[in-house]
């Protein structure tokens, strides 16, 4: 058997019908979820860098003569930048080359290729296969959990700051720190954060005053109050000052996870992201976005309508030109509100939406130089389970005949 070419190992064959997938085991959705939960629990949860990705995917085994056009249905468990784990009703030998067709957050296909690094027996004919990618991928295209949040922790106690940092980093967040309210205000106004965690009791400036000051300055980002006080009047004061949520002290991983859960939306990429000629332009726009937002919020805070219109008009043009249509639409709404002399509450409401979307703006890094795929031979799999009729009929089904797939 002749060797596969590098191109054959990187893309699905054009003749492959992924609407007719071979199912290698049968399992109801409830049992599938229970099995995946059990695997996560055995490992005490997924470690940092691995993100839950529970979907179905199409698997193809490349052959040199390209005459074998079979695709198999698999159930994925987790993904990282370098590997993916999935369940399969058969056994793969190490270093077997395979390809997967994955579903992105945007319901598009992402084809990946790699080699099997491990295959362990789970139950019956079911095995968990770990595929190491030929090239690193952007996992945030597949699951929102892989999109790192940016959080500012305003906390004077070094112990609690370290505790919050440890839990947040485990939740895939990048953490900045300010030791008091004054520094927290400066950092919040100078950077773009998904959330500011504001301790209520600090020296120099307490959290309540800092929240009021930020809102008075026109800050529209998410602010979460951190307090060990549970009395209703304390929460009422924080709400009136302008906070969006609460976290109790001491910090816990579950408490922080609940506070930031709704902040993690799908990352926003430019519609021109795939155009190499636009890469530098998009990178420049994303890098300059925090400064543009500061100029806009400062002008609105000063009630400088003329300067506000200039800043939002520039943002409207740049977001549209760089392929961020969702941002451009809100910028138009803010501009119209300013021109019409709308109430400041209306302007700030749209500004808050605009800033929250801006925190999700991302630009992909330049892809690594493609590596030359090692030439690998594969042997045809033995008899498989029944033919599936629907690629979306995922958590498929009864333990069918076991597959043994190996490199030549």
- Chain segment 314-360, per-residue pLDDT in tens: 999 999 999 999 899 999 999 999 999 888 778 878 888 888 788 77
Domain end marker among 215, 239, 263: 263
Reported pTM: 0.61
Q: What pLDDT, in 10s, does the model give residues 117-172?
A: 999 999 999 999 999 999 999 888 888 788 788 899 999 999 999 999 999 998 88
The answer to whether position 117 is within a domain reads yes
Same domain, 44 and 130: yes
Of 263, 291, 306, which closes a domain? 263
Q: Is 158 a domain residue?
A: yes
Quote the CA–CA distance of 24 and 160 in Å, as a whole number.
50
Q: What is the token pair recorded at 196? A: 């500011």
339 within domain boundaries: yes
Residues 122 and 227 both lie in one domain: no
Q: What is the pLDDT of residues 171-221, one digit of tens each?
A: 889 999 999 999 999 999 888 788 999 999 998 999 999 999 998 887 878
Whether 33 and 124 share a structural domain: yes
Cα(221)–Cα(15) distance, integer angstroms: 49
Same domain, yes or no, for 125 and 166?
A: no
Residues 65, 379: Cα–Cα separation, whole Å: 12
Does residue 196 contact residue 215 with C-beta atoms inside 8 Å? no
What domain count does the chain have? 3
Which is it for strands 72-79 and 51-52: parallel, antiparallel or unpaired? antiparallel
- Point out the domain boundary residue: 221, 242, 263: 263
Q: Which domain holds residue 168?
A: 148-263
Pair 343, 378 in one domain: no
Cα(first)–Cα(last) distance of the chain, in Å?
Answer: 9
- What CATH number is given to the structural domain containing 188? 3.40.50.2300
Please report the DSSP string for 161-212 in residue order.
HHHHHHHHHHTTEEEEEESSHHHHHHHHHHS--SEEEEESS-SSS-HHHHHH
Quote the pLDDT of residue 8: 46
Q: Where are the beta strands (DSSP E) in 24-69?
A: 51-52, 56-60
**Same domain for 167 and 80:** no
Would you say 229 and 243 are in contact if contact means Cβ atoms under 8 Å apart?
Answer: no
Residues 90 and 181 in one domain: no
- Parallel, antiparallel or unpaired: strands 22-23 and 72-79: parallel
- Cα-to-chain-centroid distance, residue 95: 29
Asked if residue 13 belongs to a domain, the reply is: no
CA-to-CA separations, 57 to 115, 241, 346, 368, 371, in angstroms, rounded: 16, 48, 44, 24, 24
Residue range 225-235, pLDDT digits in tens: 998 877 788 88
Average pLDDT, the chain: 80
Same domain, 69 and 127: yes
Same domain, 114 and 137: yes
Between these two residues, 283 and 366, which has the higher pLDDT value? Answer: 283
Choice between 385 and 76, residue whose per-residue pLDDT is larger: 76
Does one domain contain both 78 and 118? yes
């Amino acid at each position: 058997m002749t060797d596969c070419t590098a191109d054959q190992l990187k893309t699905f064959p054009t003749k492959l019908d992924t609407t007719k997938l071979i199912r290698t085991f049968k399992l109801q959705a409830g049992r599938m979820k229970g099995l995946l939960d059990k695997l996560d629990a055995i490992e005490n949860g997924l470690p940092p860098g691995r993100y839950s990705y529970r979907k179905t995917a199409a698997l193809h085994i490349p052959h040199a003569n390209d005459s074998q056009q079979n695709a198999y249905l698999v159930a994925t468990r987790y993904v990282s930048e370098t590997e993916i784990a999935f369940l399969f009703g058969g056994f793969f030998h190490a270093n077997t080359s395979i390809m997967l067709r994955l579903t992105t957050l945007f319901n598009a296909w992402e084809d990946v290729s790699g080699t099997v690094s491990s295959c362990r027996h789970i139950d019956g004919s079911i095995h968990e296969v770990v595929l190491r990618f030929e090239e690193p991928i952007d996992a945030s295209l597949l699951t929102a959990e892989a999109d790192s949040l940016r959080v500012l922790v305003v906390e004077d106690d070094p112990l609690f700051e370290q505790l919050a940092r440890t839990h947040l980093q485990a939740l895939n967040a990048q953490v900045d720190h300010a030791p008091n309210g004054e520094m927290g205000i400066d950092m919040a106004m100078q950077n773009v954060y998904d959330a500011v965690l504001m301790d209520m009791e600090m020296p120099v400036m307490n959290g309540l005053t800092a929240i009021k000051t930020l809102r008075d300055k026109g800050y529209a980002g998410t602010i979460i109050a951190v307090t060990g006080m549970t009395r209703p009047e304390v929460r009422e004061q924080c709400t009136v000052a302008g906070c969006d949520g609460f976290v109790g002290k001491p910090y816990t991983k579950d408490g922080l996870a609940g506070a930031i859960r709704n902040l993690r939306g799908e990352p926003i990429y430019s519609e021109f992201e795939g155009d190499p000629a636009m890469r530098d332009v998009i990178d420049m726009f994303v890098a300059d976005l925090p400064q543009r937002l500061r100029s806009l919020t400062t002008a609105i805070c000063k009630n400088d309508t003329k300067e506000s219109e200039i800043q939002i008009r520039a943002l409207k043009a740049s977001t549209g030109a760089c392929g961020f249509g969702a941002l451009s639409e809100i910028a138009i709404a803010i501009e119209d509100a300013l021109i019409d002399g709308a109430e400041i509450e209306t302007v700030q409401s749209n500004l808050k939406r605009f800033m929250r979307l801006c925190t999700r703006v991302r630009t992909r890094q330049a892809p690594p130089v493609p590596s030359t795929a090692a030439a690998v031979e594969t042997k045809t799999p033995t008899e498989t389970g029944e033919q599936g009729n629907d690629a979306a009929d995922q958590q498929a089904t009864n333990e069918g005949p076991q597959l043994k797939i190996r490199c030549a």
